C-alpha cells in the first residue's frame, strides 16, 4: 500500500495501464448471470482483451483524437466540392479496433464475428462496448449508427436493399465497410419530428430529396437513413417516409448533398457531426412510404438503450478513477479513501454504477429475448428502454462530475480523463431525445402499451422468486414501495395530458429506482446462493435506503461505509451487515 512518502503532489493516480475488465468483478458477475454459459465462456477472452485495450492503447488514442478534432475540407485545390472530413490518425486507429478487430457493428447481424456460431447476443456486445466507452465515447456513436442502420435495413428493407447494403454495413474489414448514419433532426424540428420539412420528389424508380439536416453525426457515413416527406404526403409524422441515401452513386460520383459545417461540440469532439444540405440527393424508400416514423422509432429505441449503456460505462470509468485517486492520495495524514466524507462519495458512486449497470444489462437481456420472439420481453423492453435512457444518462452527469471533484483541482485539468468524461456524459440525455421527450415516451408506453403494469408485474414476480432468506427480508421491505407506485401507474390513462405530463419525469425515476432495487436483489440472491456472500445485498439495501426510503438521509450509509473496502474488492460480506443497512419500514 502507498504511504504519503510515495506520493508526489503532481501524481495523477489514474487508472492508466489497468486491465479494465480484470478491475471490474461487477461487470463479469452481471454478464455471467445474463449470458448463457457457452456465450460467457466464448466472451471471456474477448472481454479481457478489450479490458486491456481500454486501459492502454485505446485510452491513449482517445486522448489524442479528442485533442485533434476532425476538420471539414469542403473543396479540393481546384475548388471542386469534395465535402471530405479529415480525421486524426488516432481516430482511424480506433475505428480499426472497434469495427475490424472486434466487429462491434457487425456482430448482431450475422454469425462468424469473433468466432460466434450465431449473431452475438446484445448482452455480450454491450459488455464489450462497456469497455470501449470507458476509454472512448465518441467513436461508439458511428459504431452504434452503423449497427442500427443494419438493423433497420434487415428488418424493413427490401430483398434488394438487404443484398446491396447488409454485407457492406456488417463488413469487418475497413476497406469493405460502409458506415451508417441517420439524418433526422432539422433546424426547426428535433423533438418535434413531425415538423420536418425535407421533401422527397419522385424521379423514375428513385426519389430526390431536398432540404437540410441540422445534426448529422458520422457525417461522412457511406449509407444514410433519413426521413423526408414525399410530395403530397400529409403533415406530421404520418407523412414521413424513410429513405436510404448512399454517399456515392453507382458510377462513383458523390450524391447530391453537401456538408455545410462541422459542429464545434462540448463533447464527442473527435467524432464529426455536421450540418447537411440535401440538393436533390438520390434516395430510395425503405418500407412503405407512410411507415417512416414508426421504422425510425425502432432504430431510435435500440439506440436509446445503447446510449444508456454508454452512460453507465462513463460512470464506471469515473468510479474507477475515483477509487485509484482516493486509494493513493493523502490529505490530513490519511488516505482520501479513509476519510468518512470521501467514503460517502465513493459509496454513492458505487451505488450509481452497480444500479445503472444492472438496469442497462437487464435491458440488453430483454432485447435478446424480444428479438427471439418473446412477446412479454418485447412489452418490457418497450418501457425499460426509455426508463434506462432517461435515468442512466442523467445520472451519468452527476456521477462523472462528482468523480471529477473527488480528484480535486487535478480533476478539472485535461491531463486526466475526468473533464472528457464530464463533457461526454452531458450529451447522453440530449441526443436521441432529451429527458422530457423520453419521459413522454415512458407515458405512452404506460398509457398505450400497458407496459407500466407489465413492468410492475414483472418486478413482483422477480421478488417472489428470491430464495435467500435475508434477501427475501429486503424484498419484503421493497414491496410496499412498489405497491404505492402501482396506483399512480394504473391511474395514468385516465388523466388529462396536462395533469399527466408534469409528473412523468419523476414517475420514470421512481420506476427506474424500483426496477434497479429489484434487479440488485436478484443479483444478491444469486451471489448469496453461489458464494454465501451478501455483498450485493448490502449494495441493494444501501441503494434502497438512498433512493426509496423517505426517512432522513443523514449519515445514510454509515453502516455501509464500514464495508467499503470489502465492497470495492468484492470480499465476502455477512448478511447481518447488509441487513443493518436496510432502512426501517416506510
The site for ligand FAD (CB under 6 A) is made up of 182-185, 190-192, 215-217, 265, 268, 273, 427, 430-437, 440
- In the block, cell 385516465 appears at 494
Residue 217 vs 357, nearer CB to ligand FAD: 217
Backbone angles phi, psi at 204, to 5 degrees: 65, -130
Shortest CB 481 distance to ligand FAD, Å: 27
Residue 16 vs 503, nearer CB to ligand FAD: 503
Shortest CB 498 distance to ligand FAD, Å: 11
Closest by Cα among 515, 511, 100, 85 to 275: 85
Shortest CB 222 distance to ligand FAD, Å: 15
Shortest CB 350 distance to ligand FAD, Å: 29
Residue 216 vs 451, nearer CB to ligand FAD: 216
Residue 335 vs 423, nearer CB to ligand FAD: 423
Residue-wise over 333-351: b if at least 16 C-beta within 10 A, else e? eebbbbbeebbbbbbbbbb
Residue 216 vs 445, nearer CB to ligand FAD: 216
In angstroms, the CA 136 to CA 281 distance is 33
Shortest CB 182 distance to ligand FAD, Å: 5
What's the Cα-to-Cα distance from 5 to each of 271, 322, 325, 328, 330, rounded to whole Å? 42, 21, 15, 11, 10
Residue 439 vs 517, nearer CB to ligand FAD: 439
Residue 70 vs 190, nearer CB to ligand FAD: 190
Beta strands in 109-167 (DSSP E): none
In angstroms, the CA 513 to CA 515 distance is 5
Contact (CB, 8 A) for 305 and 3: no
What's the Cα-to-Cα distance from 300 to each of 366, 388, 458, 582, rounded to whole Å? 16, 13, 24, 38
Shortest CB 451 distance to ligand FAD, Å: 20
In sequence order, the 6+-apart residues with CB closer than 8 A to the CB of 38 are none
Cα dihedral 561/565/566/571 (nearest 10)? 170
Shortest CB 259 distance to ligand FAD, Å: 13
Shortest CB 488 distance to ligand FAD, Å: 19
Closest by Cα among 423, 67, 91 to 266: 423
Residue 435 vs 471, nearer CB to ligand FAD: 435
Amino acid at each position: 500500500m502507498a504511504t504519503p512518502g510515495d506520493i508526489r503532489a503532481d501524481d495523477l493516480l489514474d487508472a492508466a495501464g489497468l486491465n479494465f475488465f480484470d478491475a471490474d468483478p461487477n461487470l463479469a458477475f452481471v454478464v455471467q448471470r445474463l449470458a448463457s454459459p457457452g456465450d460467457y465462456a466464448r466472451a471471456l477472452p474477448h472481454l479481457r482483451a478489450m479490458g486491456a485495450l481500454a486501459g492502454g492503447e485505446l485510452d491513449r488514442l482517445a486522448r489524442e483524437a479528442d485533442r485533434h478534432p476532425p476538420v471539414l475540407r469542403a473543396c479540393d485545390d481546384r475548388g471542386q466540392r469534395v465535402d471530405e472530413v479529415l480525421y486524426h490518425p488516432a481516430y482511424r486507429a480506433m475505428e480499426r479496433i472497434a469495427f475490424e478487430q472486434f466487429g462491434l457493428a457487425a456482430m448482431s447481424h450475422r454469425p462468424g464475428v469473433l468466432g460466434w456460431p450465431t449473431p452475438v447476443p446484445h448482452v455480450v456486445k454491450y459488455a464489450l462496448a462497456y469497455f470501449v466507452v470507458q476509454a472512448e465515447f465518441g467513436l461508439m456513436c458511428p459504431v452504434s449508427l452503423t449497427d442500427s442502420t443494419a438493423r433497420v435495413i434487415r428488418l424493413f428493407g427490401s430483398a434488394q436493399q438487404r443484398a446491396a447494403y447488409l454485407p457492406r454495413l456488417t463488413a469487418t474489414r475497413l476497406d469493405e465497410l460502409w458506415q451508417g448514419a441517420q439524418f433526422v433532426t432539422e433546424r426547426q424540428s428535433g423533438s418535434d419530428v413531425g415538423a420536418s420539412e425535407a421533401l422527397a420528389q419522385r424521379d423514375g424508380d428513385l426519389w430526390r430529396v431536398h432540404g437540410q439536416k441540422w445534426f448529422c453525426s458520422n457525417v461522412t457515413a457511406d449509407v444514410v437513413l433519413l426521413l423526408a416527406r414525399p410530395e403530397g404526403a400529409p403533415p406530421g409524422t404520418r407523412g414521413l417516409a424513410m429513405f436510404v441515401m448512399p454517399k456515392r452513386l453507382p458510377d462513383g460520383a458523390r450524391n447530391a448533398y453537401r456538408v455545410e459545417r462541422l459542429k464545434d461540440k462540448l463533447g464527442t469532439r473527435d467524432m464529426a457531426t455536421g450540418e447537411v444540405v440535401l440538393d436533390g440527393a438520390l434516395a430510395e424508400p425503405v418500407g412503405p412510404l407512410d411507415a417512416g416514423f414508426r421504422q425510425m422509432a425502432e432504430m431510435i429505441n435500440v439506440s436509446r438503450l445503447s446510449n444508456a449503456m454508454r452512460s453507465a460505462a462513463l460512470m464506471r470509468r469515473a468510479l474507477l478513477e475515483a477509487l485509484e485517486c482516493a486509494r493513493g492520495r493523502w490529505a490530513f495524514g490519511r488516505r482520501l479513501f479513509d476519510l468518512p466524507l470521501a467514503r460517502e462519495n465513493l459509496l454513492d458512486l458505487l451505488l450509481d454504477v452497480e444500479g445503472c449497470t444492472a438496469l442497462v444489462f437487464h435491458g440488453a437481456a430483454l432485447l435478446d429475448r424480444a428479438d427471439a420472439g418473446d412477446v412479454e420481453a418485447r412489452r418490457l423492453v418497450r418501457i425499460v428502454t426509455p426508463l434506462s435512457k432517461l435515468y442512466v444518462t442523467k445520472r451519468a452527469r452527476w456521477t462523472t462530475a462528482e468523480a471529477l471533484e473527488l480528484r480535486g483541482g487535478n480533476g478539472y485539468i485535461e491531463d486526466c480523463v475526468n473533464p472528457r468524461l464530464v463533457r461526454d456524459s452531458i450529451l447522453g440525455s440530449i441526443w436521441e431525445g432529451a429527458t422530457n421527450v423520453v419521459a413522454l415516451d415512458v407515458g405512452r408506453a404506460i398509457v398505450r402499451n400497458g407496459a407500466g403494469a407489465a413492468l410492475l408485474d414483472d418486478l413482483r414476480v422477480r421478488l417472489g422468486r428470491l430464495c435467500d432468506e435475508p434477501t427475501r427480508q429486503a424484498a419484503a421491505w421493497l414491496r410496499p414501495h412498489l405497491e404505492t407506485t402501482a396506483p399512480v401507474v394504473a391511474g395514468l390513462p385516465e388523466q388529462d395530458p396536462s395533469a399527466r405530463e408534469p409528473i412523468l419525469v419523476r414517475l420514470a425515476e421512481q420506476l427506474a429506482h424500483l426496477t434497479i432495487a429489484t434487479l440488485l436483489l436478484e443479483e444478491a440472491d444469486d451471489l448469496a446462493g453461489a458464494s454465501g456472500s451478501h455483498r450485493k445485498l448490502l449494495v441493494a439495501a444501501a441503494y434502497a435506503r438512498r433512493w426509496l426510503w423517505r426517512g432522513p438521509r443523514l449519515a445514510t450509509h454509515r453502516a455501509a461505509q464500514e464495508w467499503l473496502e470489502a465492497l470495492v474488492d468484492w470480499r465476502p460480506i455477512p448478511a447481518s451487515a447488509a441487513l443493518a443497512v436496510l432502512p426501517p419500514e416506510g
